[in-house]
Amino acid sequence: MQVEQLSTASGVVIEGPLLITPQIFGDGRGFFYESWNQRRFDEAVGCPTTFVQDNHSRSCRGVLRGLHYQLEPEPQGKLVRCPVGVIFDVAVDLRLSSATFGEWVGAELSASNQQQLWVPVGFGHGFLTLTGSAEVLYKASGYWSKSCERSLRWNDPDLAIAWPLGGMEPLLAQKDADAPELAAVMAAGEVFA
Instruction: Give the residue numbers marked as catalytic.
Output: 68, 138
Q: In this structure, what DSSP letter does residue 43 have?
A: H
Q: Report the alpha-carbon distance of residue 76 to residue 65 in Å, rounded.
A: 16
Element (H, E) at 122: none
Question: Is residue 91 classed exposed, middle or buried when 0-12, 13-18 and 19+ CB atoms within 10 A define those classes?
Answer: buried
- Beta strands in the chain, from DSSP E residues, in sequence order: 2-7, 13-21, 25-27, 30-32, 53-60, 64-70, 78-84, 86-93, 104-110, 116-119, 123-129, 133-140, 149-151
Whether the CB-CB separation of 63 and 129 falls below 8 Å is answered with yes
